[in-house]
């Protein structure tokens, strides 16, 4: 190979390495920033809400929470959640790690609610959705089975971003998972002032949750009337089949 060609190739390799290093440094800077943010969110000098202590920076749980906050803006999508879980298998294969991750995220969500008293914050909602998956995840199960399980989807449904009762449901979710009484007053007040609401998956209108019925097959999707359910069946059928299949596979895993 001519000397000029070798020199050109070396120059290209050097530039490629420089670009790769620059990209790696950028990714690491984002991770460090995310790590700093969630560490601060864990701090509450008065109460730790029964959560686990924050692990060392290189602990698998810390790595998982880092990535969760790096991907926060897309974490409420199934694919992003799936990617997060598949790249942190140590969390799912170790019950202690999983419990620790749930405890830390519960601390963070609770502190967010306390600091934003009376307001609306999408971060605790997103954290609650991830905790719901963590609580049901079994390393023996395919992630899709977990994501479409009745236990997870029903919680995601009740934590709907768009319902007017989302804050009430959110306070209940975190209060049930803390051993302290920090959220008690806020939750009781929300129960008095915010009615339980849910969306009809047929007409897409909001109604009182008690007035709605769920699909008797999947036991998840809600409808305001039989007419809405029948009209929505062509749309709901595919999801209904996925929910039922996940439920049956989940039963099989638990029984085996």
| Residue with tokens 């864990």, as numbered in its chain | 42
pLDDT score for 217: 94
128: confidence class by pLDDT, cuts 50, 70, 90: very high
Other CB atoms within 10 A of residue 158 CB: 22
Q: Are strands 213-214 and 206-208 parallel, antiparallel or unpaired?
A: unpaired
Highest mean pLDDT among 62-76, 91-105, 148-162, 171-185: 171-185
Higher pLDDT, 121 or 186: 186
Reply yes or no on whether the pLDDT at 20 is more than 90: no
Mean pLDDT, the chain, whole residue set: 83
CA–CA gap between residue 83 and residue 77 (Å, rounded)? 10
CA–CA gap between residue 108 and residue 135 (Å, rounded)? 16
CA–CA gap between residue 5 and residue 164 (Å, rounded)? 66
* Longest pairwise C-alpha distance within the chain: 82
Higher pLDDT, 86 or 181: 181
| pLDDT digit string, tens, across residues 157-178 | 888 877 888 889 999 999 999 9
Reply yes or no on whether the pLDDT at 77 is more than 60: no
């Amino acid at each position: 190979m001519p000397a000029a060609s070798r020199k050109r190739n070396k120059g290209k390799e050097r530039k490629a390495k420089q670009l790769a290093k620059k990209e790696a440094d950028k990714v690491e800077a984002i991770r460090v920033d995310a790590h700093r943010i969630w560490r601060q969110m864990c701090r509450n000098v008065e109460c730790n809400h029964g959560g686990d202590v924050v692990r060392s920076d290189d602990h698998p749980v810390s790595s998982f929470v880092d990535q969760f906050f790096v991907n926060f803006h897309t974490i409420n999508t199934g694919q992003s959640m799936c990617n997060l879980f598949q790249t942190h298998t140590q969390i799912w294969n170790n019950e202690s790690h999983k419990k620790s991750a749930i405890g830390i995220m519960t601390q963070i969500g609770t502190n967010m609610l306390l600091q934003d008293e009376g307001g609306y914050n999408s971060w605790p909602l997103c954290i609650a959705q991830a905790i719901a998956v963590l609580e049901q995840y079994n390393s023996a199960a395919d992630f899709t089975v977990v994501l479409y399980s009745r236990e997870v989807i029903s919680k995601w449904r009740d934590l709907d971003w768009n319902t007017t009762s989302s804050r009430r449901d959110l306070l209940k979710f975190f209060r049930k998972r803390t051993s302290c009484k920090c959220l008690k007053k806020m939750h009781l007040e929300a129960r008095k002032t915010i009615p339980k609401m849910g969306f009809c998956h047929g007409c897409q209108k909001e109604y009182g949750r008690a007035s709605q019925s769920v699909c008797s097959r999947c036991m998840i999707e809600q409808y305001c009337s039989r007419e809405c359910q029948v009209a929505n069946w062509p749309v709901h059928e595919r999801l209904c089949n996925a929910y039922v299949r996940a439920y049956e596979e989940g039963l099989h895993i638990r029984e085996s």
